[in-house]
Amino acid sequence: MKSSILIGIAGGTASGKTSLAKNISKNFNEDNVCIIEQDSYYFDVGHMPQDMLHHHNFDHPDSYDFELMIKQLKRLLDGGVVNIPIYDYTTHTRSDKTREITGHKIIILEGILTLVDKRLRDLMDIKVYVEAPDDIRFIRRLQRDIEKRGRSVNSVIEQYLETVRPMHQQFIETSKKYADLIIPQGGHNKVAIDLLTTKINSLVNNLRASS
């Protein structure tokens, strides 16, 4: 019997998905909610030459280990224990360390492609798409990749034009049709956060009543 609920939060790069997930989680006991980043399931590509890494398409569904992701989420929803991979963005490898998760009533999965795979969508109780203007998203990504990932301005721009933008148009933007709720302003949309919190509380109460 299902023992937890799953909320999927999708949207373009730097649209505010993480901020939304964090602000939702603040409304619940930290022992009852966990946030899982879809990027944790990137395939290890550390073996690739550096010049090829700059052109690797990290925004295509094939870059993610959906099989492991779905397997672990199913186990979590059934009340099991999983060890989530930890991905190192500087080396593009999976760390030897993992993150153990279990016992949470509310699981939030956030990432650019969380609504792309039907098997994943079918596990979700709520599907959310965060929307933000393209120019705002690009500026946020530029700042993030320079400050936190040691990237150069030129490499961020090149990657954005070569893969990020076309993949957004092909896969991410088109997945919006699967969302139950489309949220502008991401984590700053207080009305949407309140609505989601109310709905999540209702789902959790129903879960407890049926167990």
User: CATH no. for residue 94?
Assistant: 3.40.50.300
pTM: 0.93
pLDDT value of position 173: 96
12 occurs within a structural domain: yes
Distance CA 204, CA 208 (A): 6
pLDDT value of position 89: 79
pLDDT value of position 42: 96
pLDDT value of position 26: 94
User: What are the distances in angstroms from CA 109 to CA 26, 45, 134?
Assistant: 15, 23, 23
Gyration radius (Cα) of the chain, Å: 17
pLDDT value of position 134: 93
211 occurs within a structural domain: no
pLDDT value of position 101: 95
pLDDT value of position 92: 82
pLDDT value of position 118: 98
210 occurs within a structural domain: no
Distance of CA 121 to the CA centre of its chain: 13
Considering only CA atoms, which of 198, 156, 182, 197 is closest in space to residue 15? Answer: 182
Considering only CA atoms, which of 37, 8, 7 is closest in space to residue 175? Answer: 8
How many domains does the chain divide into?
1
162 occurs within a structural domain: yes
149 occurs within a structural domain: yes
Strands 126-131 and 5-11: parallel
Contact between residue 13 and residue 142 where contact means Cβ atoms under 8 Å apart: no
Residue with tokens 């109780």: 125
Token couple for 32: 């009852």
Which of the residues in the chain have pLDDT under 70? 53-54
Dump pLDDT digits (tens) for 63-107: 999 999 999 999 999 999 999 999 987 788 898 899 999 989 999
E-assigned strand segments in 41-199? 82-88, 93-101, 106-110, 126-131, 181-184
178 occurs within a structural domain: yes
pLDDT value of position 121: 98
Range of the domain at 52: 5-205
